[in-house]
Amino acid sequence: MAEVNLYNVKGENLGKVQLTDDIFVDKVNQVLLHEAVVMHLANRHRGLACTKTKGEVKGGGAKPWRQKGTGRARAGSNRSPIWRHGGVTFGPKPRSYKYSMPYKKKRIALKGALTSKLKDKKIIVLESIEVVEPKTRIFSKILERLNAKEKSLLVVKNITENLRRFSHNIPTLKVLEVSLLNTYDIMSCDKLIITRDALEPLENLFKKSN
């Protein structure tokens, strides 16, 4: 079993806590890590680019000139794609970029991300996140004591209203529930903070996939 440091909100080291081997892998698969990150970015991509076709462009109701006898090419509308201010042929339309990876591959990638943070000694466990006052200033000091002022990810069992309030205004912090944990957020953070009550749901998450 792996061991990581256990801290309280005062930044005091309370010793070590053991993490089950079920949430780690022996060898990190870099290919699956990359695939999982690309999938996450694609799934949150909002495909809103939109162009108008010939039928959607305003105007073009009358035939520009008669069919024959003018010496010019035949034209049925001045909103044809070959005309200036005309419609666009095969232009982009709002679409979804979402796709999915096989369940087992996603789990292996997630384990690889956790293993990578463990090897870099970037995982710490927090005894409890409860504070007297739900204020950003107070929680910012907690992060400072934990040496987590850089980009950090806080993984909790459940996001309470107080936690949502005092973490909302910290730009370098992201808070996630265990069920929403993903490879991209783990790899993009500098410090991974896991509350002690979130360890069991995290371990259960991988036990179900084995």
The pLDDT tens digits of the residues spanning 157-185 come to 998 888 888 888 899 999 999 999 999 99
Bridge partners (DSSP) listed for residue 124 = 193
Mean pLDDT across 66-94:
94
Give yes or no for residue 209 having a pLDDT over 60.
no
Q: Residue 39, Cβ neighbours under 10 Å: how many?
A: 21
Give yes or no for residue 96 having a pLDDT over 70.
yes
- Of all residues in the chain, the percent with pLDDT exceeding 70 is 98
CB 88 within 8 A of CB 53: yes
Give yes or no for residue 132 having a pLDDT over 90.
no
Distances (CA, A) of 5 to 17, 49, 78, 167: 6, 47, 71, 22
Give yes or no for residue 38 having a pLDDT over 80.
yes
The whole-number pLDDT of residue 167 equals: 83
Quote the tokens at residue 6. 């256990």
CATH-assigned architecture of domain 2-45+99-207: 3-Layer(aba) Sandwich (3.40)
Report how far residue 106's alpha carbon sits from residue 183's, in angstroms, rounded to the nearest whole number. Answer: 8
Bridge partners (DSSP) listed for residue 152 = 173, 191
Give yes or no for residue 208 having a pLDDT over 80.
no
CB 208 within 8 A of CB 107: no
CB 122 within 8 A of CB 146: no
- In the chain, how many H helices and how many E strands? 6, 8
pTM of the predicted model as reported, rounded to 2 decimal places: 0.82
Instruction: Scan for tokens 């095969």, then name that residue.
Output: 90
Give yes or no for residue 88 having a pLDDT over 90.
yes
Mean pLDDT across 143-164:
89
Every domain of the chain and the residues it spans: 2-45+99-207, 57-96
